[in-house]
Amino acid sequence: MTVSLEELCNALLHPHAAQGLRLFNAGQFFDAHEALEEAWNDEQTKVRDLYRGILQIAVVYLHVTRGNYNGAIKVYGRSQKWMQNWPDLCRGIQVGQLRRDAEAVMQEVQKLGRENISQFDRTLLKPIRWSEKRVYICDRCGSEMHERNCKVTCPNCGNRFDCSDLNNYFD
């Protein structure tokens, strides 16, 4: 049975990927790469390609901060293979925004060139926008519930509630 891209993107973010995103957003690009690599190695689905693409963007940013023009250009080119074809939002990660942010970084790197990369404005290194997907457990039967369009439903017993008001359960 083949799992759709939508189903893959609606699943939970790997814990190492979440840690990698936190490190990325703290500007710790090497450590972000390491955490994301663990997620990439652990992941058994196609989402491993997304993790691989993000870890390569972390390496691009590391090269930029170290003034390594050739490394940034090379790894960015490689990352594109793994970053394309993902929806704008996957596993809580705003992938489309990350692609645009990385492209803006590379446009500036290319504009500066090898000789002037040390003048790169680090404020262009934007954090990855993401949110950890919440896990809801049914208070009736204990099954994991599924969220869609702000409605959370238990696939086992049919219990439902509106996620915008966690205290407002309805049947």
CATH of the domain at 88: 1.10.3450.10
Average pLDDT over residues 60-82: 97
Amino acid at 119: Q
User: Which of these ranges, 22-26, 54-58, 71-75, 133-137, has the smallest mean pLDDT?
Assistant: 133-137
pLDDT tens track for 90-129:
999 999 999 999 999 999 999 999 999 999 999 999 999 9
* Residues 92, 161 share a domain: no
The yes-or-no verdict on residue 171 having pLDDT over 70 is no
Q: How far apart are CA 157 and CA 139, in angstroms?
A: 10
Contacts 24+ apart (CB under 8 A), 42-45: 42/14, 42/16, 43/14, 45/3, 45/8, 45/11
Question: What band does 136 get if pLDDT is binned at 50, 70 and 90?
Answer: low
Are 58 and 20 in contact by the 8 Å Cβ rule? The answer is yes
Q: What is the pLDDT of residue 5?
A: 85
Q: How far apart are CA 127 and CA 129, in angstroms?
A: 6
* Residues 164, 93 share a domain: no
* Residues 107, 23 share a domain: yes
pTM: 0.77
Q: How far apart are CA 171 and CA 167, in angstroms?
A: 13
* Residues 61, 17 share a domain: yes
Range of the domain at 162: 136-170
* Residues 98, 147 share a domain: no
In a domain, 32, yes or no: yes
In a domain, 129, yes or no: no
In a domain, 131, yes or no: no
Q: What is the DSSP letter of 124?
A: G
Question: What band does 40 get if pLDDT is binned at 50, 70 and 90?
Answer: very high
Average pLDDT over residues 38-47: 94
* Residues 141, 120 share a domain: no
